[in-house]
């Protein structure tokens, strides 16, 4: 059930995490959209909603000490980056 977005506002996705108090997710999203030394992001804009959802879910689950679900969220993210041949980010 993926929703294809014509336009993804990277700034709003990052700020959404910040507004919700998900500071770790905000930092991760910021670095994923601002690669050091280049103007190219690590992720494609259309991938950000799914990545943001997993990062934010993991952060919420971590607060509730649900380690197995946190692991699943991080594994999903790692698999995503591995599948896009970005082993360093994975």
Q: Scanning the structure block, which residue is given the tokens 């929703």? A: 3
Query: Do 26 and 17 contact (CB within 8 A), yes or no?
Result: yes
- Classify the phi-psi angles of 19: left when phi > 0, otherwise alpha if psi is within -120 to 50, otherwise beta: alpha
pLDDT on residue 2: 41
pLDDT on residue 1: 36
pLDDT on residue 5: 45
Burial 38-53 (b: 16+ CB within 10 A, else e): eeeebbeeebbeebbe
pLDDT on residue 8: 65
pLDDT on residue 35: 74
pLDDT on residue 62: 92
Taking only the tens of pLDDT, the chain with its 90 residues reads: 344 444 568 888 989 999 999 999 999 998 888 777 776 667 887 889 999 999 999 999 999 998 999 999 999 999 998 988 877 887
């Amino acid at each position: 059930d993926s929703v294809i977005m014509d336009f993804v506002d990277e700034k709003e996705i990052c700020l959404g995490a910040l507004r919700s108090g998900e500071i770790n997710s905000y930092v991760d999203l910021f670095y994923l959209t601002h690669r050091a030394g280049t103007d190219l992001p690590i992720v494609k804009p259309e991938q950000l909603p799914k990545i943001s959802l997993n990062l934010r879910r993991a952060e919420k689950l971590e607060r509730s000490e649900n380690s197995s679900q946190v692991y699943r969220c991080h594994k999903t993210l790692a698999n995503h980056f591995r599948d896009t041949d970005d082993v360093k980010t994975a």
